[in-house]
Chains A and B, each alone.
Chain A
Amino acid sequence: MKFIHAADIHLDSPLHGLSAYPDAPAAQLRNASRDAFSKLVELAIEEAVAFVVIAGDLYDGDWRDHNTGIFFSKEMGRLKRAGIPVFLLFGNHDAESEMTKKLTLPDNVTTFSSKKPAVHRLDALKVALHGQSFKDKAITENLALRYPEPVAGYYNIGVLHTALEGGTVHANYAPCSRSELHAKGYDYWALGHVHEYQHWAEKSDIVFPGNLQGRHIRETGRRGAVLVTVENGHAQVERLYLDVLRWENLSVDTSDSLSMSDVARQVGLRLEDLLSVDGHVPRAVRVTLRGRTRAHGALFGKANELRAEVLGQIAAIGNDRLWLEKVKLATEPFGDKADIGGRMDAIADLQEILEEAATDPEFLAQLRTELQPFFGKVSADVKEEVPFLTLARAGDFGALLKHVSPALLASLMDGP
């Protein structure tokens, strides 16, 4: 007997942090969450699985487009035509969504009640599924405690949306411990909520399949669901990689580079390496440049040129396979601050003055006045990934100046 366990599908949840540029594969990847879900359905049909379990967070809670529900319903229709039942449990996001209540689903989809734990039996397969959906967004009680006893002679699956033992990344909903789950005596716990894949194969198999499709740079690496094969009451869990766009954080050491084009070449080589595994899956890549490099000055203030250089490399590799999220500059100037000080020339004097800026009230006031019009203009929606903006708005320029000063000096020494 084979079944698929998926969770945290977040249908139609957008990709964050990717700006569209002319050659970006934006058009084909904007609906990545749908495409990944369609792949899941195709695979279920192909593998002729006995049933599919979805352990919560089908939609984003604040997503209001009913088309998403219709799309889900249509995909369920495909599974119905293939004779595959689906067991659907609602998590914190689904509980918020109006769609959950109104959507008419095909009769192959069984939803778990949010009022009390329920058992759904598949007598022909001797499988019993236990579960309870979230009634509202924030369930902080331990739902697992009230799950029923296992059905004797059946393969018992507990379906639960939980933060388990309280990770910090995800809200601590329906908390419970692994030992509590083991103690329940089920064979398999199909969990959802935590977006990273985890599997504890002890007394029971406790599995987080991870989310189906990464949506931002904090969700890097391969994503998908799991295919569970049960033979003689023993489960074998195999990961299914269904993401249609994979997020990667590529750190490039530029210590040996002398110029921007050197850096771009180096990045190009690393990008090619990246595609040596699962080369058919397009990537959203953040390139972080690191290292003490002579090119530090040449890179500063040239974000657009640098981006264009990296995009040039991407064009050579294949624009349809790589989508550049951003090029982040984390390089440091070549040589020591003390070395510049030791020169005792105008550059050394300037370094000393630049260091004073961070504590000079007059300069800080001037800088605030300079940036204020921009702060007034910049949209409140811009908040992620711009730490300097947040700090500077709050009047904290320390980190910004610490970042800008050495680069400015290096750029003066190298010429513009």
Chain B
Amino acid sequence: MRIRQLQLLKYGKFDGASLEFPKAACDFHVIVGPNEAGKSTVRNAISELLFGMPLRTRLDFRHALTEMRLGGVLEDDTGGLAFHRARGRTPLRTPADEPLPEGHLAPFLGTADKAFFEQMFCMDHAQLVEGGRSILDGSKDVGRVLFQSAAGIASLGPVRDALEKQAGSLWAPRKASSDYALAAQRFDEASAELKGAQVKTKVWSDAKSALDEVMNDIATEETRRLTLEATRARLERVRRLGPSLLKLRATESALAELGEVVEFPPTALADLNAGGADLSSAEALLQARASDVALRRKERSEVSYDPSILALRSDIEALDAMRSLCANHPRDLPLRQAEVERLLDDARTAALQLGWSTGETEMRASRPTALSLKAVTNLLRDRGGLYQAMRSADEAVRQRRADLDGFQEDLAALASAEVAPALRQALDEALTLKNSGARQRTWMAAVEQARDKLAHALAALGQWQMPVDRLRTMALPSPARIAALQRHRNDSATAVAHAREKLEELQAQAVRLELEARHFEHAHKVVTPTEVHEARVSRDGTWGSLKRGDVALATGASALDAAIRLADELVDAQLGTATEAARLQSIRQQLALARADVLRHEQLFSARTAELEQLDADWTALAANTGWAGMPLDDAAVWLVKRDEALTAQDEVAQRQRELDEEVSSCREAQAALASALQDAAVVVPANTELPVLCSIAGLHVSQIDSTQARRTSLAQQVKQAQRTLEGLKAAAESAASQHQQWQAQWAAALRSASLDAASATFAEAEGAVDLANIVTDRLERADAIRRERIDTMLADLEKLEAEARRLATEVDPAFLALGDWPEVSRRLSQRLREAVGAAQKAELADAALRTAQASENDADLRVRETRARLGPLLALAGVESVAEALPLVERSDRRRALQQALAEAREGLIRDGDGLTREAIEAEVAAHDPAEVVGLCEQAKGELAAVGERLSVLVRQRVTAEQAFSAIAGQANAATAEAKRQEALAAMGEVAEQYIEIATANKLLKWAVDRYRDRKQGPMLQRASAIFSELTLGDFVKLGVDYEKDAPALYAKRGTGQVVEVSGLSEGTRDQLYLALRVAALELHLENAKTLPFVADDLFINFDDERSKAGLKVLAELSMRTQVVFLTHHDHLLPFIREVFSEDVNIVELQREVA
């Protein structure tokens, strides 16, 4: 299949482009264009036209995804097909947009899919380099190199490495870190854990029995311990209570001896002793307090003071404070008044300069208001700006007017001129031919080249060379007829060959059968029915002769016997060799058939040979008739192509000559026209001036006139612009002048209003007058402030002091009024007050001391009475009056109480230590034991108890151990958990095992299959690749071979010098060439059996030098004789080589980069 036309209807940057791939002897097409011209898009388009567009694409930047569309015409031996490829559910459509079925392209594409096409039939520089690298990677393994190159994939090595690595990580002998080993280790650990955690039922039963036993032993020992404990307690009691019992009995008898006693409280003795002492000390204190009271009364009566002055205390203190405040006033008053006077002098000086009256009242009247003064200040500030604006506007008007005058003068000085249209047209036409000289030389060279080509083409016709005209008119058979004749002859030759082969085969078979029959006969002594029949005929004949009497019995009998014996023996032998006879018979039949076949095929062979000879004779006759005498039929088609080339070359010579003539004539016409036009424009030129010189003169003339015209236009525009600007400037100057006048009017009014007109003859004076007016106002305001805030306040304070001093002196002591000095009066009043206050404080202290002394006296009296009351009841109980009488009675009562206490304690001891026994029982126990033996018996009991205790503690330890052992089996899940882990490890082992078997099998299988592939393909592929590689390396290398001495058979290349180079020793570029050679060889072998598809080579020779590029092109030229080759490149420099290798007519499609 080949592509005749590729239409990029709406695809990538293309819109309606169509690329044509016309068929030629070498089906080779070049698509050339710079980067970004769309080569990759074209490459994609070829693939997508044939196999469909993907769901997503980067090529939808111009046309929407749904609108993208390709078209094309495919063709093969059976015909052509035009169709469109769109997106969507029915992507295949007719050019008229009618849907086509999905498999419509199948007759052209077979079972190929996109992946296969791109893998097998597309190749770019990157793939070439990648392929070269993959050859290096697999250089030690020729099977891998061949397979990868043939399949166009580089994955074999990586896949095999990945399998190897994967298998190694899953399992490897003695590898402890493999997945399987790790899982197995987990399995062993879990198994050990399970063994440790599992508790068999018997273990549990044993633990339970052990616990029961020790519990029984403990119960027995416990009983014994209790018995011993009771004995020991009894003996201890006897020993403990014996002495207590004796003491109890003694106390009871002492109490009985004491008799009747008055009973006092337990504290009576202490109360009596303390009460006596308290009473005597209280009575002495009372006496001392009474004398103290008398002394205090006397001291108070000696103190006196005047209370009336104390009533005025706060007023006198306030007066004294005021006195302190006014102390400095007499000194300050004259100072402040002098300060006021200085300020007024300053004001007067300023007023005098302003021409005002200098009296204080007049100055105050003349002062301008703040508003009028501010107005003058503001006007002074604005004046400068307004004046400057007016001056600037006037200056601008003057300047612009001067510019305008200048432009108008320049314009008047420029002359006006025009270029004649005839001259302009003649110049334009002449310019296109200005470089015609160079072109004419190129055309001449082209004519020469075409002539050379024609000569070559004619020479290529060999002995059947003749003039072109004769060639053109020759009545030759058409290529189709020659092809038909060739086919016919080939068929006939094949038939002859077949017939010969078959005949030879049959003859051989006949000879073999003959030999077989002979050998069989010889080996088996077979008796055939014919022999038997013949023997019987001979016997019967002999017998007939005897019967008839032809032979005498005596002479014939022995012959008859011999004949009968022979016949019988033969019959017997025949019976014994029936099977062999049948076999022999069969062989003979086969032999007969074979001989018949030989005969038949001899006839057939003769017929076929005659037919072939007839065909050759016919051709010879035909050739002789058409001027082709001696032309072999096989060369006729090629000669026809060469004749076409010669004719085409002749056409080209004529074409190139016509083009050259046209160029020369156009050039002459243009020269005449331009010279005439220059003359009309009054430009003088010498006759026969060359066209380029004429072009320069005319060009200079036209450009001068054009430049003057442009200057005039520009000046006119500048005049208009200057006039417009001048008008605007004038208006601005008028406005500025009017604003200045307005200001002057306001200035005169403001000066008057501020009474500054007299002192403001100039603007500088006016500024000074404003400052002076400000000074007058300031000094007057400061004098007012001093008067108001200082002088008036001091005078008021002094008046207030006098009035208050006068009032208080009148009330306290009128004699003070006579002093007249009011601060002194105030000081004396204060003195008097301090004296009165001191006396009053003294009297108060004396009163307080008296009150304290009286209270102490009362307390002492109360204490005496209380003590007497406390002792009263005890004395009444004793029936006596004094403490001394009561004391002996109380001591007797205390003795009785002590004895009773001792008795109670002894009884309590019996109860406490008697272990609950009654006094009688204890007395009986004590009486029953000899006190001397009790201690010994007690120690014996203790010894026995200790022994029991030791046994018990041993048993308790045993019980703890047994309990621990038993309670350790508490239904925990340790064993179950361990078993779960064991199963988990087992699962992991299973998974790894499954994976390992798969991976290891895949690995082994792949190695084996690739070796097999090598065995089968190595011969033809290396043979073809050697030739291509030799061509690509320009003969540096002559052969590819396989070194079987290596572990895996390895590929090597042999130099022309005989040197053998391993793949790893090849340079990178040579490896790329090797890969290309292998790929092309594989492709050629593939094409021998499979449908052809176009081979797309995308910039394959980027890294090849010129010579190697040419060699590469030659390889592709050979490939293009078998299938269509589309060669994409962005290198213009390859084009001459391409033309050289193919022909000038090679189909070159140029793509242009779109200008943004």
Contacts and interface: CB of A to CB of B under 8 A. Distances in A.
Contacts of B970: 67, 70
B990 A17 contact: yes
Contacts of A392: 997
Interface string B108-120: 0011110110001
Interface stretch (A194-202, A218-226, A372-380): A372-380
B1000 A374 contact: yes
A326 B986 CA distance: 13
Nearest to B181: A377
24 contacts: A12-B975, A14-B976, A14-B979, A15-B980, A17-B987, A20-B988, A30-B980, A71-B971, A102-B205, A103-B201, A301-B162, A301-B166, A301-B998, A301-B1002, A304-B995, A345-B116, A345-B151, A349-B1013, A356-B1012, A366-B1004, A379-B184, A388-B998, A413-B115, A416-B158
Interface in A14-31: 14-20, 26, 30-31
Interface string A287-326: 0000000000000110110000000000000000000011
B162 A416 contact: yes
Interface string A201-241: 00000000000000000000000000000000000000000
Contacts of B147: 346, 350
A373 B969 contact: no
A343 interface: yes
Interface stretch (B474-482, B544-552, B1082-1090): B1082-1090
Interface stretch (A84-92, A180-188, A246-254, A401-409): A401-409
A101 to B, nearest CB: 8
A103 B200 CA distance: 12
A18 B981 CA distance: 9
Contacts, number: 241
A367 B1001 CA distance: 7
Nearest to B146: A346
B601 interface: no
Q: Would you list the 5 A-B pairs with minimal beta carbon distance, nearest first?
A: A342-B111, A70-B971, A71-B971, A19-B988, A346-B150
B984 A413 contact: no
Interface residues of A, number: 82
B158 A415 contact: yes
A374 B984 contact: no
A386 interface: yes
Given A20-B981, A416-B158, A67 B998 contact: no
B994 A389 contact: yes
A68 interface: yes
A411 B984 contact: no
B473 interface: no
A34 B973 contact: yes
A393 to B, nearest CB: 10
Given A15-B980, A18-B984, A19-B984, 6 more contacts: A64-B201, A326-B991, A345-B150, A346-B151, A401-B1005, A407-B1002
A1 interface: no
A408 B1006 contact: yes
B976 A18 contact: no
A73 to B, nearest CB: 7
B993 interface: yes
Interface string A81-109: 00000000000000000110111000000
A284 to B, nearest CB: 11
A382 B1005 contact: no
A249 to B, nearest CB: 16
A145 interface: no
B1004 A370 contact: yes
Contact of B989 (A101, A379, A411): A379
A269 interface: no
- Chain B contact residues: over half helix, strand or loop, or mixed? helix
Interface of A: 12, 14-20, 26, 30-31, 33-34, 64-74, 98-99, 101-103, 300-301, 303-304, 325-326, 335, 338-339, 342-347, 349-350, 353-354, 356-357, 363, 366-367, 370-371, 373-374, 377-379, 381-382, 384-386, 388-389, 392, 397, 400-401, 403-405, 407-408, 411-416
Contacts of A384: 990
B974 interface: yes
Contact of A374 (B111, B113, B997): B997
A256 to B, nearest CB: 12
Nearest to B970: A70
Output the residue of A72, A338, A357 with the most chain B CB within 10 A: A357
Nearest to A349: B1013
Contacts of B1004: 363, 366-367, 370
B111 A382 contact: no
B997 A415 contact: no
Contact of B1016 (A103, A342, A349): A349
B873 interface: no
Given A67-B972, A68-B976, A378 B993 contact: yes
A184 B115 CA distance: 72
B674 interface: no
A31 B159 CA distance: 43
Nearest to B996: A374
A66 B1005 contact: no
A20 B197 CA distance: 20
Contacts of B110: 342
Given A30-B976, A31-B976, A326-B991, A350 B1013 contact: yes
A15 B156 contact: no
A373 B173 contact: yes
A408 B971 contact: no
A342 B1090 CA distance: 9
B989 A378 contact: yes
B974 to A, nearest CB: 7
Contacts of A99: 201
Most buried by B among A26, A30, A326: A30
Given A67-B970, A67-B973, A346 B203 contact: no
B53 interface: no
B1075 interface: no
A68 B156 CA distance: 56
Contacts of B201: 64, 66, 69, 98-99, 101-103
A372 to B, nearest CB: 11
Nearest to B207: A66
Interface in B147-161: 147, 150-151, 153-156, 158-159, 161
A252 to B, nearest CB: 18
B1009 interface: yes
Given A303-B995, A371-B1001, A339 B976 contact: no
Given A70-B971, A342-B111, A344-B1090, A408 B1005 contact: yes
Which among A68, A357, A366, A412 has the greatest number of chain B C-beta atoms within 10 A? A412
Contacts of A346: 147, 150-151, 1013, 1017, 1082
Contacts of A16: 983, 987
A334 B156 CA distance: 20
B171 interface: yes
A385 B990 contact: yes
A343 B1005 contact: no
Contact of B1001 (A20, A349, A400, A415): A400
A397 B173 CA distance: 22
A394 to B, nearest CB: 13
Contacts of A67: 199, 969-976
A98 B990 CA distance: 31
B993 A31 contact: no
B1009 A66 contact: no
Interface in B139-198: 147, 150-151, 153-156, 158-159, 161-163, 166, 171, 173, 180, 183-184, 187, 197-198
Contacts of B1090: 343-345
B247 to A, nearest CB: 62
Which of B984, B985, B989 has the most chain A CB atoms closer than 10 A to its own CB? B984
B297 to A, nearest CB: 98
Which of B158, B173, B200, B1012 has most A Cβ within 10 Å?
B1012
Nearest to A389: B993
